[in-house]
Chains A and B, each alone.
Chain A
Amino acid sequence: MGEVIVITSGKGGVGKTTTTANIGTGLASLGYKVVMVDTDIGLRNLDVVMGLENRIVYDIVDVVHGHCRLKQALIKDKRFEDLFLLPASQTRDKTSVTQEQMRKLCKDLKEEYDYVLIDCPAGIEGGFKNAIAGADKAIVVTTPEVSAVRDADRIVGLLEANDLKNPKLIINRIRPHMVKKGDMMDIDDMIEILAIELLGVVPEDEFIVVSTNKGEPAVLDKNSMAGQAYRNISLRITGENVPLMQLDVNVGIMKKLRKLIGF
């Protein structure tokens, strides 16, 4: 029996879908059987990020309404035998699926797969409630901005109220240079404020744009910093103890000077 992990954030645009694609691919590259479920009905995107948009025949709404069998709707990844995507419907809306249907779907999927990753839509309404309905665990993605952390805090509260205890945090798009200058909140600031356990930190990386352009998750690129971060996160999900990546940048000359004269 596998586990169902929902990837959520509250705020849009912080990288839920990119995170889902990379963790899913990362876990598959470690040899696990993985299925990713896009629950952003009406605004599907996980298919595009995975480069699988041309292969969609059926979607999640077809499955829960019995228009097709579950197996028929699952799209096999180009790169890994045991990695699948259940796409969201693009023409329906969030009310097309109920929480009860999601619970049943998750139950069916985790009998077959080691990891079921649910890509949650932004917001805290129906789509969010559906996405978390069948989940065993939750990952909250945030970026080092006041708005994103505020929404993450709200999501943590809602997850706990829905019996998803101990959600784990991924801090996305951190810029070490700005942190160093004191112009971006650092990891400790955010952990202290949100008071949840850290799963990983992903640095801002232009390669993510390139990999999304191509529909190839960055986790497979050995030269990408973000890719490395996602490989580490995938390993941590499987229970391995991987230390945080070194994100340090060279200390500026002014900082050194300031230190020297005791400011």
Chain B
Amino acid sequence: MLQLLQRILGVGSPSSKTIAKERLRLVLLHDRTSIPPHVIEALKGDLIKCISKYMEIDENNLEVSLNDSDESVALVANIPILKVRQM
């Protein structure tokens, strides 16, 4: 019933314009910084290697991405730490 009402009123799912904007934003982020996805993947691999020397990390829940805020682009890495190695 609620779904039917939502469909009639056209709310609920995002409009295709919103989807277009979001896709465009992401694709331009990569275009503008000219960092292709496979480079990000390689960077991720190296980060894991480097950090793993010092601490045990949760590789499955690790996120590395590029974020743009206004004029600048930032590399954002979210790396869950499981244990710090005793050096």
Shortest distance from the beta carbon of B14 to any chain A beta carbon, whole Å: 9
In the complex, which of the residues B8, B10, B18, B20 contacts A146, with contact meaning CB atoms closer than 8 Å? B20
Q: Choose, from B24-32, B45-53, B74-82, the stretch at the interface.
A: B24-32
Contact across chains for B17 and A258 when beta carbons are under 8 A apart: no
Compute how far the CA of A207 lies from the CA of B18 in the bound complex, rounded to whole angstroms. Answer: 30
Contact across chains for A182 and B16 when beta carbons are under 8 A apart: yes
Shortest distance from the beta carbon of A160 to any chain B beta carbon, whole Å: 12
Contact across chains for A189 and B21 when beta carbons are under 8 A apart: yes
Which interface residue of B8, B16, B18 has the most chain A CB atoms within 10 A?
B16
Compute how far the CA of A189 lies from the CA of B8 in the bound complex, rounded to whole angstroms. Answer: 26
Contact across chains for B11 and A154 when beta carbons are under 8 A apart: no
A193 at the interface (CB under 8 A from B): yes
Contact across chains for A150 and B9 when beta carbons are under 8 A apart: no
| Chain A interface main SS type | helix
Q: Give B21's nearest chain A residue, CB to CB.
A: A189
Shortest distance from the beta carbon of B30 to any chain A beta carbon, whole Å: 10
Known: A157-B32, A263-B9. A150 touches B27 (CB 8 A): yes
Which chain B residues lie closer than 8 Å to A179 at the CB level? 17
Compute how far the CA of A12 lies from the CA of B58 in the bound complex, rounded to whole angstroms. Answer: 46
B83 at the interface (CB under 8 A from A): no
Which chain A residues lie closer than 8 Å to B31 at the CB level? 150, 153-154
Q: Give A145's nearest chain B residue, CB to CB.
A: B20
A254 at the interface (CB under 8 A from B): yes
Compute how far the CA of A184 lies from the CA of B21 in the bound complex, rounded to whole angstroms. Answer: 9
21 contacts between A and B (CB under 8 A): A145-B20, A146-B20, A146-B23, A149-B24, A150-B24, A150-B28, A153-B28, A157-B32, A182-B15, A182-B18, A183-B16, A184-B20, A193-B21, A193-B24, A193-B25, A254-B8, A254-B9, A254-B10, A258-B10, A258-B11, A263-B11
Which chain A residues lie closer than 8 Å to B27 at the CB level? 146, 150
Shortest distance from the beta carbon of B24 to any chain A beta carbon, whole Å: 5
A222 at the interface (CB under 8 A from B): no
